[in-house]
Every structure is written in structure tokens, then in C-alpha cells.
A and B are shown apart, each in its own frame.
Chain A
Amino acid sequence: MTESSANKSANGEVCHRATNGIKPGRNGFVKNHYLYQQQQQKYCCPEEKVHHATCNGGLYSRPFNESFEETPMLVAVLTYMGYGILTIFGYLRDFMREWKIEKCHIAREREEQRDFVPLYQDFENFYTRNLYMRIRDSWNRPICSVPGAKVDLVERVSHDYNWTFDYTGRVVKDVINMGSYNYLGFAENTGVCAEAAAKVTTKYGVGVSSTRQEMGNLDRHEEMEKLVARFLGVESAMAFGMGFATNSMNIPALAGKGCLILSDELNHASLVLGARLSGSTIRVFKHNNMQSLEKLLRDAIVHGQPRTHRPWKKILILVEGIYSMEGSIVRLPEVIALKKKYKAYLYLDEAHSIGALGLNGRGVVDYFGLDPRDVDIMMGTFTKSFGGAGGYIGGKKELIDYLCTHSHSAVYATSMSPPVVEQIITSMKCIMGEDGTTVGRDRIRQLAENTTYFRRELHEMGFIIYGNNDSPVVPMMLYMPAKIGAFGREMLKRNIGVVVVGFPATPIIESRARFCISAAHTKEMLDTALSAISEVGDLLQVKYSRHRILPSLDRPFDETTYEENED
């Protein structure tokens, strides 16, 4: 047992995922621990080590440092206890509400419809009623300014424990915004983008009132699509009015019955919905785990479709560029190598990575220095880095021609609003440097610097942060349910707006806070935020990290973890 702590933690991580990802409700820590030991023993044999050292050698032009520190045992136990206590009190209060001892704020069914089949099952809302409601004030905070580096919040108070909110009429000014996906800082109400959008609003109005295939294909749309194709380095591109719908309405056009979709376990809801609507068979591989993906690919091709044993018509791999809750970056060079080896197709969702990664801001393909033509379907959104709304798909001309004629969105959904289109055109030109300035390039550099700085500082303070060192999405672990609300509130007291997330967006014990770094953040802002985070971190005791120097993570794969996933 002379292995470095690096491997131990990597192992721990793998088992951890194995139980967490698929069935969040059932992830026993005991089981984790068991697997952990098993793997440690396995690790003594040298072949294993060689294997995982070579598996990603040579493909990466830069160090790929991703860390997911293992949950400390005590913390995990306390977290489960926390949920246990909350559940017991939840039942107690439900009982009291039932007997009218406690006042009940829940909206009720109409008297006339009392004898209908209930619209919700009672347990369906147990979590909302008894857990979410306690800390509801940490979400949906209304803002009344540009969602830039600083925002103004509408102050609200609740006199009935978050069941309803009253607006006081006051405004909380200049809250540092660590929550919006404003990576390149294009959420602005002044400057070239806003001016261009204003001009277009005056000329075109805001609506279109028709679909692309009928009477809603404006010259601005065509121009934007040409620009997007050039930006991505693909033959052709097509834009859609909503990022979520880009996934959920186009995947069904690309895959169908008899096709296999291999999807990362942490893929966004829109990808999952799209895959489901397509009617294909869906298999899930472990998050960013190439061995798991390869095994699924091999098995799929060798065994064909279940029962009929016909070969699959096609295999589509769905991955994201940056995973928004983990802050991890997809291992794209390996995915592409696998995809080529097994002749599968690759659908890359760059919702968070486009603009935010790479020297030229062209997403994860640019970051790894790969050829965009190796990715069959390049998907992304305009909401985040470009400060607009909507999504796009880029790829070969045949693909886009097919989508033009078969995309649900082009046929049935209203096309994009002209000012939004203009915002995208202007910001994209800025990133590409076609506006004749270096503003875009400076912002990309600034974002990278901010990211490195912020991640390093947080790490040195002793927080457990997840994800890749270069990812502007920074999840910081809170674990315990009580700390979710407390962290959000304490940070707001210090005039910093953060996003906190818990189950079901994360595995049940892995509640976290998430910071999104922006190029618009100045060093002073980041320093203010960091000192506040450190202060609150001490107050709430969330500096869980047990090693300051994080190991590089190669996630090994072995049969036991995979089998966990299968059932």
C-alpha cells in the first residue's frame, strides 16, 4: 500500500459516483466505503496503474486537472442525519396540519373538485412542503437591473416562513453577482451590443409572429446563422429560439427507434428529455468516464439491439462541454478517439463552454485544440456567454439541411426575436475580433485569469471545490441541508449573490454552492467575494478539505463500479 493519496482519492471518487449518480436516494455511504476498500486492494497490482496512466497519455496538449475530493465520512453521516431529522419533523408537521394544530398555507383544491382524483399524490410534495419551503428565499430572488457583475435585488420579506413573500419596495443595491451565467460579461445595457439591439428594435419590433418555415425567416436570422457557422468553424449552422428546446426538439429528429443513445449520467434535463422523446434506447455511462463509455460502445456493437440482436442503426453519444453542476470539462480528445474507433456520432452540448473556454472563446473544441469537424453535432446556447437567448446547432451541410426540413422548432415554433438576434451577432463579432477591437480577446483572457485566481484562492482557504481548474463554473461543497439556506442568506447579508443547490439537482448528500465567474468581475470584486466566502465558511464550518494540494484525477474504471450502474 504505497500508493499516493492521489490514487486513493480518485478511487473514492469513483465509488462515490457509482452509487450517487443513478439512484441518488439509495446511495449508502456504507456501500461506498466497502467499494473503496475493495478498490484499494485491487490497486496494489501494477498493471492497473499502467493502464490508467496510458489511457489518456498523449491526447491532451495541456494538463487536465480535475478534482472531486471525497466526502469526509463524518460529514456524510451528519448530512444523512440532517435529512433524517428534517423528515421526522416534516411528518410531525404534516400531522399537525392534518389536525389543524398548525396553520396550513398550502393552496387547496376547489370545493367543487374535491371528489376528483387528486392532482398530486401527497408524498409528491412532501419534500417541497417540508424541506424546500424552509429555505425557499435562497432562490428566485428577483432582480431589477442588468444581470452584470453587480446587480440590484428587489428586497423581499416573508412573514409566514417563506410561504408568501412581500416586497418592501426597497432595493438592495450593488450585490456582487456570482450567480448569473454572464461568462464574458455581455449582459450589458450600454455599449455596442445594446446599441445595435436598440436599432433593430426600432426597425423590426420585438416579435416575429410566424415560424421559420412559414413567414418568420428574417434576413437577420440568416446572417446570424452564417456567422455562427463561421465562429464554430463548421459548414453550416441553424439557430433556435430556446436553448432547452434546441436539445429537446432536435435530438428526436436525429435519432429514433433502433438507434442507441449513450448519455453521460449528469447530462442536462433538456438532453435527457430529447433522448426520451426520440424513442431510441438510452444507456447511461458514468460521468466523464471513458472506460465506461468504451465498454458500452463495445457491448452495443458486439451484441446489437436487445432481444432482436439486430445491429443498431446508429449510436449517438451525448456529452456536455462544461457540466454546470460539477464544473467538470468533458474529456473530449478521448471521446473523439472513441467515437472514431467505434463509428458513433457525437452530440456536444456547449451550453456553458461556448465563449467561456478556449483561447478564442470557441468552446471546448478550441480549448483542446481539436478540429470542430470531428464533432458531428455542435450544439450550444446564446443565453450565457453572448447575453442573448436561444440555441444553435452547427455541423455538416447535410445535417443542417436535414434539420431545416425536419426540426420541430423550424416548423412549429415562432422564430427568434430580432433584437436578441442582433445582440448575438454583435457580441459574437466582438469575440471574433471582427469589430476591429481586442475587447473580445481581452474578455476571454480576463475570464481565464479570474477563474484561475478564484479557484486557487478558494482551494487554499480549504474548501472542497469540484471540477476542472479551467472551468469558470465553481461548485463549492456544503453537504448539509441546513447549510444550503444559511450560506445563501449569510452571503446576501454581505451583499453577495450566490447560487446554492441541493437535491434533486445534485445527489442528495452533495448540496453545494455554485459560483459562476465572469470576465466582468474585477479583482476587487473577487477579493471582496472571497473574503466574505471565507468568513461565512468559518462561521458555517464548511472548509472541509483535508488536503490542500489536489491530486490530478484519472478516474480508473473497474467492473465492480460498472455493475453498480447496470441495475
Chain B
Amino acid sequence: MASGQQWVLVEMVQAFYEAPAYHLILEGILILWIIRLLFSKTYKLQERFDLTEKEKEELIEEWQPEPLVPPVSKDHPTLKYDIVTGPPSHKIIVNGKECFNFASFNFLGLLDNERVKKQALASLKKYGVGTCGPRGFYGTFDVHLELEDRLAKFMRTEEAIIYSYGFATIASAIPAYSKRGDIVFVDEAACFSIQKGLQASRSFLKYFRHNDMEDLERLLKEQELEDQKNPRKARVIRRFIVVEGLYINTGDVCPLPELVQLKYKYKVRIFLEESMSFGVLGEHGRGVTEHFGVNIDDIDLISANMENAVASVGGFCCGRSFVIDHQRLSGQGYCFSASLPPMLAAAAIEALNIMEEDPEIFTILKGKCRHVHKALQGIPGLKVVGESFTPALHLQLEKGSGSRDTDVKTLRSIVEYCLDRQIALTQARYLEKEEKFLPPPTIRVVVTVEQTEEEIDKAVHSIREAALAILN
């Protein structure tokens, strides 16, 4: 040991002897105090929360949950549905009144097509109704494989996959690819099933203004700057643009060529929901890609339902095998749900046959759409929302009253007025609290190939009369 240290020790002992007693006592107390502080808990966490059994019982006794569901007022506009007696085809009986149908999305009139019914019946005779299992467990029928094959051929893609429910198609497809941490650029007007799919994916959502490519590019640029800051993270964040071909909520079409340009510029994948445009747009009814002459391989995934133009039930996704095949194990609505009843698949195949044999039908539909669109212009108090070639238009109040409920009631009286004059219309329904961007209340006008000029004129006339009687 060094002598210096020894010296210090001696000094300390010396100091101890020399120190006054009160000083030593004080220091002793201080040391004891420190020891106490070290070994005692400053506060008792446990004490604050530990309730006795009796207190717990009291709390449990005291707790009153909210009712399972809030009461629904008797005059809620959607509590009583309109009842359709008999088939929902061109001529339809709504609430006991026989009408011409301007409300069902039966664009090509295939719902009561004899050929379709015949194939459905043949299939029923062979397979029965239900499938009694998901695709994985003996729920795959040869008809399903055929339908998938036919859809892929029809759309000229590598592969197609069918779902048993239209709504579940895009809602399952999105979360199969886009996960937590990924970024989705989505149009504000996107339909509800897209919104649900996005919610299930738990991805980071960036909404751009409806059909506003500048706004989208602004967001993409923002993201690009963000990526430059953190290039390592950027390498694993997947990006998607989700748009609809023909928007069900606004009746207009997405600017696909611009979107494809942006896709390659910013390296984002495009998911396209074509429920309204499949079997409607394009020379052969292939939808919005054909409408714009865009190469279908430039779109990463196309999803559509077979419930509108095809007039069956279910939905499908198509695209390259690299993309689509993934859903066979990751698409929740595909894996965990019973497969599509074979008779509905058979009906869809026959509908595809009809569409392939007679592409003229799409030209006729477009002609009718233009006619209706033109005829509906200039009705006082109502404005037409939607492109001239879209078969599902919206009629919106030119001047809203400011209260949604009042507007809905006004529109309802127009619908009732038309119902009495043999024209079946319906309002577009939304869940007001659930929609991210709630569209204004509107009446749907659906154009189908079965409607004759006369019927269209009659419908337009009734709507005009109703508007004059009710809005003025």
C-alpha cells in the first residue's frame, strides 16, 4: 500500500477523535436515515390497488354495462326494407306494386336469362346446392376450377381466384399483401369494402382527393422525400395505390393511364376494384383497362364481384400468378370460408359465355347509358352525378337543406312518387357513422340493356314530375 493513502487514513481517524460529539451524532443519524431510505419502499404501489374481496364484489355489483345495442327509433329510414315479391328482374314487384326496375345492378339483364338458369339447374341436379366445406377441404369443385380458368382467359390474365362473397373479395385481398407498416394511397371516394380491407390490413393510409392525380403525386413525392431520409426502412415498405375502376359512390372513372405512369415513376403497385366496370366498360366488357387501352399486366391486381353485370353471387381477383396465387393461402375470405355454391359458379360461366359470344351487348348498354344520362339533364332541383357511359348514376339534390335527414326524406318521397308510377328506384345507402368520407344522399338510377326507350322516357318523366311536385 502506498504511504500517501495510509496518511489519509490516519488523518481521518484523527479527525474522528477531534470532532465534537453533536457532529458525530448528527452524522450517525444521517447515515441511519440513508439506510432507512435505501431499504424502505418510498410508496406502496400494491396498497393503492389491492382491493379486498368485498370491495371487488361491490364493484362488480355496481357496474352497469351499456345496453348491447342502442335503441333504434321507430321511424329510422332503413328499419323497414322495401319488399320485393318475386324475381328482382326487369319487371319487379316492390311493396306490392309492379314496376320497371331502375335499381338493381343487373346491367346486362342476365338475372333472368333462360340460358343462365338452365345451366344453374343442370349444375343443381349434379352437385346439389351447398359445398359443405372450404376450398381446401373437399370444397373445390371442377366448376370452380373451370370458372377460374374462364375468368383468367376472359380478362387475359395469368390467373384468377374466386371468392364466395363479392364484398369479401377486395376486403380479403388487400390484407393478404399490405401489412402493418406498409403504405396505401387510396382515393377518398373508395367504396366500403375497400375501406374494410384497408382497416383489416392495419397499414398506413394516405387518402388523396377523388381522382386528383396532382394530389396523389404530392403524396407520393412526400413519401419519396421521407424515403430518402431513411433508405434502409424504405426498402421494405410496400406501397400500393388502391382505386376503383368505376366508382360506385360517384359514378366516374379513375384516370388509369396517369395512374400507371405514376406507378412506374414512384414504384407503387396498383390494386383496381372493378365491381361496377367489369362486364360494362370496354369493347368486350373487360373493364376499365380495356376502356383506356391499358396493358392489363401493368395492374398488379384486379378485383371485381360477379353480382352486378354477371348477376350471380361471389367475386374474383385476377392478375399475374406471382400475385394471385398468394391469396390461396393468405386470403382470409378464401381460406376460411365455404366455397361458392357450384350452381352459382355454373351460372357465372354461362354469363361469361354470353358476354363472349355477343360483345354487341356492351355497345347497346353504352348507348342506353348515354341516353339516360342525357335525358336526366336539366331536371329542376336535381343534378346528375356520373359519367355519360356509366350504368349506375346518382341523382343528387342541387341545393341540400343542410340537414342530411331532411334530404334523405325528400329523396325518399321522390322514390315513393316514382314507385307509384311503376318506376322502381332506390336511394344509395351508406352507414353514416362508418364511412370515412360520407357521400351526399342520392338516388341511384341503374341502366340495364333490358330497358326500352319508352320505359326510359317514362322513368325520366316520372322523376321530372316528382322533382317538380316535391322540390318546388
Contact = CB atoms under 8 A, between A and B. Distances in A.
| Interface-centre pick from B69, B88, B139, B337 (highest chain A CB count, 10 A) | B69
Contact of A413 (B139, B167, B308, B426): B167
| Interface-centre pick from A206, A211, A423 (highest chain B CB count, 10 A) | A206
A269 B117 CA distance: 35
Nearest to B312: A207
29 contacts: A117-B234, A119-B177, A119-B322, A121-B236, A141-B140, A144-B142, A147-B131, A147-B132, A180-B131, A189-B128, A198-B124, A203-B87, A205-B113, A208-B104, A208-B111, A212-B81, A213-B429, A219-B86, A243-B337, A273-B332, A342-B60, A381-B338, A387-B129, A399-B69, A401-B72, A402-B69, A405-B72, A408-B434, A413-B193
A433 B81 CA distance: 30
B235 A205 contact: no
Interface in B47-64: 49, 51, 56, 59-60, 63-64
Contacts of B10: none
Contacts of B103: 210, 214-215
A215 B82 contact: yes
B130 A419 contact: no
Nearest to A108: B322
Interface stretch (A3-11, A310-318, A326-334, A437-445): A310-318
B390 to A, nearest CB: 16
A73 interface: no
B446 to A, nearest CB: 9
Contacts of B429: 211, 213-214, 411
Interface string A203-230: 1111111111111111100100000000
A110 interface: yes
Contacts of A210: 88, 103-105, 426
Contact of A216 (B104, B110, B117, B132): B104
Contacts of A182: 132
Contacts of B22: none
A207 B200 contact: no
B325 interface: yes
Interface of A: 107-110, 112-113, 115-121, 128, 132, 139-148, 151, 154, 177, 179-182, 186-189, 193-194, 197-198, 201-219, 222, 241-245, 249, 254, 268-270, 273, 276-277, 298, 301-303, 311-315, 341-345, 376-377, 381-384, 386-389, 398-399, 401-406, 408-409, 411-414, 416-420, 423, 497, 499
B65 interface: yes
B55 to A, nearest CB: 8
A188 B434 CA distance: 41
Contacts of B81: 212-213, 217, 404
Interface of B: 49, 51, 56, 59-60, 63-72, 76, 78-79, 81-89, 92, 94, 101, 103-106, 110-113, 116-117, 120-121, 124-133, 135-142, 144-145, 164-168, 177, 191-193, 196, 199-200, 234-239, 264, 267-269, 297, 305, 307-308, 310-313, 320-323, 325-326, 328-329, 332-333, 335-338, 340-341, 343-344, 347, 424, 426-431, 434, 444
B77 to A, nearest CB: 8
A408 B431 contact: yes
B130 A207 contact: no
Contacts of A413: 165-167, 193
B141 A345 contact: no
A423 B307 CA distance: 20
A180 B136 CA distance: 10
Contact of B313 (A193, A222, A414, A497): A414
A268 to B, nearest CB: 7
Contact of A179 (B104, B138, B307): B138
Contacts of A107: 320-322, 325
B264 A497 contact: no
Contact of B136 (A140, A198, A241): A140
B57 to A, nearest CB: 10
Contacts of A142: 140-142, 144-145
B120 A312 contact: no
B308 to A, nearest CB: 6
A418 B426 CA distance: 21
Contacts of A243: 337-338
Given A116-B269, A311-B63, A419-B124, A273 B142 contact: no
B44 to A, nearest CB: 18
Contact of B332 (A269, A387, A406): A269
A69 B444 CA distance: 60
Contacts of A342: 60
B138 A151 contact: yes
Contact of A389 (B79, B236, B341): B341
Contacts of A217: 81-84
A132 B84 contact: no
Contacts of B85: 218-219
A377 B69 CA distance: 11
B128 A245 contact: no
Nearest to A115: B267
A302 B56 contact: yes
A328 B33 CA distance: 61
Contacts of A148: 128
B125 A198 contact: yes
B131 A116 contact: no
A245 B165 contact: yes
B249 to A, nearest CB: 11
Contacts of A120: 326
B361 to A, nearest CB: 16
Contacts of A383: 130-133, 338
